[in-house]
Structure formats: structure tokens, C-alpha cells
Amino acid sequence: MAAELVRGQNHPLTQVRLEIRISAGVPVLAGAALADEHGTVRGRQWVAHPGAPAVPGVQAPRRAGAEHRLAVDLDAVPEAAHRVDVFLALPAGTAAASRFGAVPAPHTTLIGRDGTELASYTVTGLGAETAVIALELYRRQGVWKVRATGQGYAEGLPALLADKGLSDAAGLAALIHEAAARRMPDVTSTSTPPSGPRTTASASPTAPAAGPVRQPARPYEPENPGDGGPVPQRPAGPVDYTHPRRTASPPQSAAEERPARPVAGDAVGWSMEERLYNQVWGMFEDLARTTAAYRGAVEFADSRLEKEVDQALADPSRRLGAAADAVRAAAHARRTLLTDQARAAFDRDLAQLTAEAEVVEPALPPAYARWDSPAWHAYRVPAEPPMALRLGDLHLPESAPLRIPLLVRMPLERGLWIDSGPAPAAGERVPDPAGARRSAMTAAVAVAARLLAVHPPGAFAVQVVDPTGAGARALLPLTEAGVLAAPPVTGAAGVSRTLERLTRRVDLVQMAVRGGVAESFPADVDTAQQLLIVNDFPYGFDDRSVARLRFVADEGPAVGVHLLLVADREDAADHGPLLDPLWRSLLRLTPLPDDHLADPWIGHAWTYEPSLPPQGSRILQKVLTEVAKARTKAQ
């Protein structure tokens, strides 16, 4: 039975030669764009449209029409192409329709070479959009899948093509509309399968494919709807679906339906570290999207149940009795069938991601690894700084056992805020403010220890401002190992001196960089990367110190000075809105699991858990001892 997809849902393809049938109700343009592992269309030669209907592996209709058939041969798609985006657009300058929200929802169906209907998707929920990516055929670990995308663009084809990385998007959109305008719309546009030799481009597991390579977006610096400030709203424009695609393993046969065996480092990148980072990024997005598909399918089943019952029982005379009970039972049975199918698809994807996580986690380097990983037990001080750093784990309620590492790129581009506000203690209903503050400082020490451990000797320094001395116990691993740049600073005078010194360092480095003399600094300026831990903010801070702290938070990351704030926002309430920009500029973390982080595509509320050493483990002390030895030797 064919899969009836909802937005965001994916489905494996058991055949590689396909016909995509489109029924729109009004004349529309239909085309397809090939994209590489980064989601980028490399040029006009990768776009099939009415003016140039054939690209390797795809044949598009030549005219606008209410019905279309696109021929796709996935075996003939270039090896450098990892995605085929099928798009629709309303013809320019026609009075038939001005937006997709005013016309029947387009319906798409994938038909195999043997005539089998594989999947279908009705593109609902459109409003002012005049162009839409209806379907995405994508290759993952050598297996092709289809995803119901439904990503609309109110600005039309130029915006759609620009979102795919085409620099001349407006010119190509004009050409497409002009080509379609030269021909009268057909009732049905058909095409034949493409022919000719297969075109290939270089792509390997160890290096990016030829062409421009974009650095991945920052998936692990998500929105902070729980930071106490206004909840960030997702932009009104289209959702960004691009992310680094991993290099595929050799294609399996069409009859092979079992997923490829997961491999650590199965992603694009110049080094294993970069490939692992991109692989974790891909797992994060895959879990977000498959969860969105499952939730959407359940919502669709619920709404369909409600609609069917309402329609069947609209006649008051039929609301009671055996007939009414039969109608309700049939509607509930259909709802159960839909949700069971959705759960089966979700469980299939979750099992694949879980298998991948079980392979990837043991292969992660110390900067990415959990504290109980063998990578830390065999720790050696590195010679190079890391590409990214693990701050904790993320998970969703539907897939709680599966944890995705929360990685941030290095050097840090924004400061961190560990919220020490009151939180329920284990087994208690009443908040324990003192316990929350201790837990927050413990989490801060774990972050600082990891930063010190993953940098070469002398390349990273940690300073601590603890005005009241409340964090002395939590700081013992750092102070006993002797890895701090100086003893923790206490008192208002110490706070002022420390911030004055760091502000001066930021100013001097900024001036040196602007003047082109980045190596010329006074002898008393430490050029190592700096992390300033501030405990119990704003205690010990006067107005001048607060202003300097904001300056360090805003300007410091660009010149190697980073901030880690351990604070309860309520303690700073007397400053009013003055500190709102500070809170918003920091990535909020919590010492206990909390679902305050949102991914940048779907907006799921992810539960964050800090990365802490196992209870009773001395791995932190062991690692810091090695750091101290290496620092002494380097001096």
C-alpha cells in the first residue's frame, strides 16, 4: 500500500526509476533542482525547468499545466548530487491565480517503473506562497528516500532559487517564466525517461565534493525561549531545510531495503573531527524532522477523526443508536491505523538513528565525548585546538533514550549563561535555591575543565570572579590542580580590577587587529584565549563593573575573551531592562535537565542535560592533573 505522507515525513524508495505525477487544479510550472551534500544547487545546469527540461537523471515538463509528469532516474543523477527538489510555481502575469492559498492544494504521487504507487503527498497549508518545494528525494547512506517538504515562498521562484544558493536566482526565474509564457498551458504535460551517459562528479568520504563548500550552519546554538526575555519568533519566511549531507556509501540495489550499516565519520569534511561533527549535526536534524513527521501524522489522524465523526453525525436523527456507534468505531479504527503506521515509520527511523549513535559515540574525540568515554581515560594533552566542544546532550520526549550531543563551534562565538535560579531538588516539591546554585557552579567547572583539557598547553586560560566566595567548594577541582590563571577573585575591588584588566585586553587586541599589528602587544597582555567565570552575578558589581561586563560579553569573543555567567536572573531584577541585551546574547544552559532549547528548523522544545562526570568518578581530577603537568613542562 502506498504511503500517504504528511509534511516533514519521509519514506524509503524501493525503486530508482520513478514518475512523479502532479495534479494542481490550475496551470502551474513544474521543475526539479539537483543539490549537493550541503543543499546547494551548483548552477543552472542542475535545474530542470520549461526552458531547459533535461538534466542528468531528471526530465521536466516543457509547459505550464494543471497536470504534470516528471521522469526521474536516480541511478543517472550525478554522484555529487545528494538531493532532488521538486518544485512548483504559479505562472507570472496570469489572472488564474495569484497565490497557492487561493487554489486547490497540489497533489503529488510517486509511481515506480512497474506502475506501483510508492507514496503520495498533498501540499496543504499554503497561503500567500507563489512557489513551493513539494518533494525532496534525498540519498542517505546509499539509500534514496522521499520527504514531503511543502516549503513555500511568498516571493516566488526568485526566493526559492536563491534559497538553494544560486547567485543569479532572479535571472533564472525570469527565464523560466518567459519559457513557460511562450507556450500555451497543457491539460497534461508528459515526459519520457532521460537517456544518455551518466554524469559524475568527484565525491569521497574524506574530502568535500568539488565546488564551493559552505561551513555548516550552527545547529547547536539554538534559540533560547527560556532565557527569561521575549520568546524569539521563527521568521515568517521559509524554513531553512539545508544541512550538510553526508557522503553516500556505494548505492545498494533497488531490491535492497535494509538500511546501510552505520559508520562513524560517514559525512563530508577534511578531517575525521569535521566529519564526526557533521555526522552529529545530521543526526540532530534527522531526529528533529522524523519527530515532526510523527507528530504531524498524529495531529492529522486526530483532525481526520474529528472531521469524519462530525460529518457522519451532522444529522441529529443519526446521532444515537447502533448506526452511530458503528460510524464512531470505524472512524476510531481509521485513526488507530494512521497513528500505528506513523509510529511504525517513526520507530524505523529511530532504530536507525539509535544504531548510528551507538557507532558514533565511542568514536568521538575528547572535545565531543562524554566524560565516561574511553577517550578521556586515555587522555593526552592535544597539540591543536578543537573544532567544536560538547556542552551536554539533547533529547525529545518521543525518543528519550536517544541522546544527541550538543556541540558548539570553537572558538565560542557567544558567551554562556548557566542558570542558577531555584529548581526542584530530587524528590522534593519545594525549590532548593542553594542546591541549584551549587549545581550550576559544578556545571560551570565541568565546562571550564573541558575547555582547558582540549586546548594545547598555555593556549587557554581560565579566570574566576567569585565575589562572595560561595563557589569555593565547587571550584576545588580547578584550584587543587593549579590550572587557574590566578586564584579566584573575591570582593567588589577584585571584581573591578579583573574586569578593568580584561576590558583593556579586549581594547588593545581590537586596536592591534585594526592597525595590522596583531603580534604587537605590551608584555603584560596575555594573548591566550580567556574564559571568565562569574559566579553569583551581580553580587559585587557596581554600575561601572556591569558596563565593563557587558562590553566583554559583546566584544570579547571576537578577540578571544569569553564569558561564562553563573547567575539567577531574578537577582539582577533591580537593574531592570538594562541587562536584557546581556541575557539575550548568552546561550542559556541549566544545571538540571530542562526543555528550554529550540532547534532552528521545526522549533521543537529539546530537553538539555549538562555534561558532567559520573558520580564518584575522578576523571576530572585525572584530566586536570595532566593539563597542569603539560603547562608546567611548556613553561
Task: With respect to residue 547, please indicate whether it lies within any of the assigned structural domains.
Answer: yes
Q: How far apart are CA 468 and CA 494, in angstroms?
A: 11
Task: With respect to residue 322, please indicate whether it lies within any of the assigned structural domains.
Answer: no
The structural domain count of the chain equals 2
CA distances from 341 to 354, 416, 485, 597 (A): 20, 42, 58, 29
Q: Beta-carbon neighbour count of residue 50 at 10 Å? A: 24
Q: What is the mean pLDDT of residues 105-117?
A: 89
Q: How far apart are CA 9 and CA 145, in angstroms?
A: 10
298-317 pLDDT, tens per residue? 888 888 888 887 877 776 76
CA distances from 296 to 22, 110, 301, 611 (A): 22, 21, 9, 31
Provide the pLDDT confidence category of residue 434 given band limits of 50, 70 and 90.
confident
Task: With respect to residue 229, please indicate whether it lies within any of the assigned structural domains.
Answer: no
CA distances from 469 to 10, 395, 565 (A): 54, 35, 15
Q: What is the mean pLDDT of residues 395-422?
A: 92
Q: What is the mean pLDDT of residues 169-183?
A: 87
Q: Which of 454, 440, 547, 551 is nearest to 505 (CA)?
A: 551
Task: With respect to residue 96, please indicate whether it lies within any of the assigned structural domains.
Answer: yes
Provide the pLDDT confidence category of residue 450 given band limits of 50, 70 and 90.
very high
Task: With respect to residue 214, please indicate whether it lies within any of the assigned structural domains.
Answer: no
Task: With respect to residue 260, please indicate whether it lies within any of the assigned structural domains.
Answer: no
Task: With respect to residue 318, please indicate whether it lies within any of the assigned structural domains.
Answer: no
Distance of CA 499 to the CA centre of its chain: 35
Q: Output the nine-digit C-alpha cell for 432.
A: 532548593
Task: With respect to residue 332, please indicate whether it lies within any of the assigned structural domains.
Answer: no
Q: Which of 400, 366, 399 is nearest to 384 (CA)?
A: 366
Within 8 A by CB and 6+ apart from 363, the residues are 264, 265, 276
Please identify, among 142, 160, 189, the residue that sits at the C-terminal boundary of a domain. Answer: 189
Q: How far apart are CA 161 and CA 609, in angstroms?
A: 38
CATH of the domain at 565: 3.40.50.300
Instruction: Write the single-letter amino acid at 477.
Output: P
Per-residue model confidence (pLDDT) at position 241: 34
Please identify, among 189, 221, 242, the residue that sits at the C-terminal boundary of a domain. Answer: 189
486-518 pLDDT, tens per residue? 999 999 999 999 999 999 988 888 887 777 765
Q: What is the mean pLDDT of the chain?
A: 82
CATH of the domain at 101: 2.60.60.30
Long-range contacts of 111-117 (CB under 8 A, 24+ apart): 111/18, 111/19, 111/20, 111/21, 112/14, 112/15, 112/17, 112/18, 113/15, 113/17, 113/18, 114/15, 116/2, 116/15, 117/2
Q: How far apart are CA 536 and CA 569, in angstroms?
A: 10
Cell match 547567485: residue?
Answer: 167
Q: Output the nine-digit C-alpha cell for 136.
A: 525532496
Q: How far apart are CA 487 and CA 477, in angstroms?
A: 13
Q: Beta-carbon neighbour count of residue 431 at 10 Å? A: 12
Q: Which of 193, 188, 172, 163 is nearest to 51 (CA)?
A: 172
47-100 pLDDT, tens per residue? 999 989 899 999 999 888 889 999 999 999 999 999 999 999 998 865 446 788
Full residue range of the structural domain in which residue 183 is found: 3-189
Share of the chain above pLDDT 70, in %: 82
Please identify, among 189, 218, 244, the residue that sits at the C-terminal boundary of a domain. Answer: 189
Question: In the β-sheet with 594-598, what is the strand arrangement from edge to edge?
Answer: 404-409, 388-395, 605-610, 594-598
Q: Are 594 and 602 contacting, i.e. CB atoms less than 8 angstroms apart?
A: no
Distance of CA 184 to the CA centre of its chain: 43
Using the predicted structure, report yes or no on whether residue 199 has a pLDDT greater than 50: no
Going 538 to 541 to 542 to 544, the CA torsion angle's sign is negative
Per-residue model confidence (pLDDT) at position 238: 39
